Amino acid sequence: MQVRNSLARKGGRRQSPNPLPPSQSFDMMGAPTAFSRNEEIFGEGEPAEYLYKVKAGGVRTFNTLNDGRRQIGAFYLPGDIFGLEARDRYSVSAEAITRSRILAVKRTEIMARAADDVATVQLVLDLTTKELQRTQGHILLLLKTAQERVVGFLLELATHEDNHDDFELRMTRQDIADYLGLTIETVSRTLTRLESVSAISLPSSRHVILCNRPALERLNS
């Protein structure tokens, strides 16, 4: 694939150890590549040769079930690193959910740096911890009611935005439904219900304003 080959050419430059913070050190190891909406970054079962960082836009990772349905496991937003695997092949597929710039760094490059760079070791440990927390949080979310899932998702998403109470959704409602294990109709009805009680406002299908955080927190408890 031409795009993936482009990432491979850009992602493997060797840098000498430096005192930069782990996230900045990661940025020095590659160059961003542009992806269009819905473009594949990597596919389930492909060799796990790279780690990726979202510089702009957003990414969904997912599995396709035997009956063709899609289960989204995570969303990654600017600053997030994804593609960490315990084995040598990706267990999920990854696609851009909007126009995105994605940085790719070879897994072998990171392992080589980790041999003599404490910051890189810390980066890998942090990534591992965050992925475990992300997975555990998603599992707990799926145990809740439909309303609690939607509210919990909005509150979690808001923590990633510059304006925590007023933001644009990068993902579609179908994406949200596939992440929450709900139908798109249930997601839409729940958002409408939350708007009707003035907990949120929806100026457009992608624009969300959290109007009453205390009420949302109570609905999420």
At which of 86, 106, 141 does a domain end? 141
Instruction: Tell me: do 115 and 156 sit in the same domain.
Output: no
For residue 172, give the CATH number of its domain.
1.10.10.10
- Say if residue 85 is in the same domain as residue 12: yes
| Euclidean distance between CA atoms 60 and 75, whole angstroms | 5
129 and 200 housed in the same domain: no
Please state the φ and ψ torsions of residue 192, each to the nearest 5 degrees: -65, -40
Do residues 82 and 161 share a domain?
A: no
Q: How far is CA 106 from CA 12, 131, 213, in A?
A: 5, 19, 41
pLDDT in tens, 2-28: 445 444 434 444 444 445 556 667 888
List phi, psi (to 5°) of 59.
-135, 145
Domain of 89, in residue numbers: 2-141
Q: What's the farthest any 2 CA atoms get from each other in the chain?
A: 57
Tens of pLDDT along 91-128?
999 999 999 999 999 998 888 888 887 888 888 888 89
Contact 11, 43 (CB under 8 A): no
Query: Count of domains in the chain?
Result: 2
Same domain, 171 and 96: no
**100, 122, 141 - which closes a domain:** 141
